[in-house]
Amino acid sequence: MAESLQQQLVDSTCKENDENMECAVCLQRCIHPAQLPCGHIFCFLCVKGFANQNKKCAMCRQEIPKDFIDQPNLLEFSIPLENSEGVENDFQWFYEGRNGWWQYDERASEEIEEAFKLGIPSFELIICGELYVIDFKHKFQYPKRNSSRKRSIKRDKINNVVVKGVAGLR
**Min CB(107)–Zn ion separation in Å:** 9
**Min CB(74)–Zn ion separation in Å:** 13
Three state DSSP letters for 13-28: HHHHHHHCCECCCCCC
Nearer to Zn ion, 57 or 134 (CB): 57
Please give the backbone phi and psi of residue 153, each rounded to the nearest 5 degrees, phi first. -125, 155
Does position 23 interact with Zn ion (CB under 5 A)? The reply is yes
Strand pairing report for 33-35 and 91-97: unpaired
Window 47 to 106, contacts with Zn ion (CB under 5 A): 57, 59-60, 62
- Those residues with Cβ within 8 angstroms of residue 102's Cβ, 6 or more apart along the chain or in another chain: 94, 95, 96, 163, 164, 165, 166, 167, 168
Nearer to Zn ion, 110 or 135 (CB): 110
- The Cβ of residue 10 has, within 10 Å, a number of other Cβ atoms equal to 10
Among 40-48, 73-81, 109-117, 158-166, which window interacts with Zn ion (CB under 5 A)? 40-48
The CA–CA distances, whole Å, from 55 to 26, 43, 162 equal 18, 15, 33
- On whether the CB atoms of residues 125 and 132 are closer than 8 A, the answer is yes
Nearer to Zn ion, 2 or 79 (CB): 79
Q: Where are the alpha helices (DSSP H) in the chain?
A: 2-19, 44-54, 106-117
Does position 46 interact with Zn ion (CB under 5 A)? The reply is yes
Among 23-31, 75-83, 90-98, 128-136, which window interacts with Zn ion (CB under 5 A)? 23-31
Does position 167 interact with Zn ion (CB under 5 A)? The reply is no
Nearer to Zn ion, 43 or 167 (CB): 43
Does position 24 interact with Zn ion (CB under 5 A)? The reply is no
Does position 25 interact with Zn ion (CB under 5 A)? The reply is yes
Does position 169 interact with Zn ion (CB under 5 A)? The reply is no
Judged by the rule CB under 5 A, the positions of this chain that interact with Zn ion are: 23, 25-26, 38, 40, 43, 46, 57, 59-60, 62
